Amino acid sequence: MEQMENNEDKRIKIAFQNMDWKEIHTTDSWRIFKIMSEFVEGYEKLSKIGPCVSIFGSARTDENNKYYKLADEIGYLLTQNGYGVITGGGPGIMEAGNRGAKRGKGKSVGVNIELEFEQYPNKYIDNDKIITFDHFFVRKVMFMKYSQGFIVMPGGFGTLDELFEAITLIQTKKIAKFPIVLVGKDYWTGLIDWIKSTMLTKEKNISAKDLDIFTIVETAEEAADSIYNFYSKYVLKPNF
């Protein structure tokens, strides 16, 4: 661990020794073209896939974990009702979601991100259905724009980031409401209890109606039904 920290310190020092503040700004201004290209590729590919549900969760979850098996079953059930599946394209829960979709012979896409560790495209996505991004914020735009619902499995900081981004956009009416389903009561109940007791009751930082933006379920069937039931009010049926 100490060796890793020393290497990171050296990397930062070298970066700032070789680049002054003016050069940093100049480099940043050219990044806009890379960002634009990622948006264009994402829009072109994802606009063709039809109604989809995103499945989020940890890249570190192995296939023997109960949440991996749940994500696999959810991916399968979604495809049986005409939905495609979008994941982050990597291992763990993402792999499970794509695996279930493949088992169900449905559409499946991986919105991958380049990282130094953990992230590599899983084997259950066809090569032409993998889109790789350098920037997290571009990737999150794709999830928000092309998903008809979020299934959120247990995960780490990245999963929480994607979850709260969606909740915030719905809360502030920047996007239309869509179903956000948290799977695993043991995992999520502590966080939700804190939101209710501290954010809502004690500090009054949110409104009671904000708690209606998401729901918590325990089974794959409940997760899939949450998506179907939400759209049944609008007589919206996926049509590929």
Residue 150 has pLDDT above 70, yes or no: yes
Output the CA–CA distances (angstroms, integers) from residue 216 to 97, 144, 187, in the order listed: 18, 20, 10
Give dist(CA 102, CA 87) in Å, integer. 13
Is residue 128 one of the residues assigned to a domain? yes
Say if 27 falls within a structural domain: no
Closest by alpha carbon to 76, among 100, 92, 48?
A: 100
Instruction: Report, as an integer, the average pLDDT of 76-94.
Output: 95
Confirm whether 160 is domain-assigned: yes
Q: Quick check: is 137 in a domain?
A: yes
Beta-bridged to residue 130, according to DSSP, are 110
Model confidence pLDDT, tens digit, residues 182-221: 999 999 999 999 999 999 999 999 999 999 999 999 999 9
Length of the chain: 240
3-state DSSP assignment of residue 98: helix
120 pLDDT tier (thresholds 50, 70, 90): confident
> Which residues neighbour 151 within 8 Å (Cβ) at sequence distance 6 or greater?
53, 54, 55, 56, 71, 74, 97, 181, 183, 223, 227
In a domain, 65, yes or no: yes
Other C-beta atoms lying within 10 Å of the C-beta of residue 217: 20
The average pLDDT across 54-67 equals: 97
Quick check: 86 pLDDT over 60?
A: yes
Task: Give me the number of domains the chain comprises.
Answer: 1
Residue 136 forms part of a structural domain: yes
Residue 240: what pLDDT?
A: 43
- CATH number of domain containing 179: 3.40.50.450
* Residue 105, domain member (yes or no): yes
C-alpha to C-alpha distance for 213 and 211, rounded to whole angstroms: 5
With a CB cutoff of 8 Å and minimum separation 6, the contacts of 157 are none
Compute the average pLDDT of residues 109-113: 88
- Residue 237 belongs to some domain of the structure: no
Please, what is the Cα angle at 155 between 144 and 187, to 5 degrees? 115
Cβ–Cβ under 8 Å, residues 181 and 152: yes
Domain span at 67? 49-232
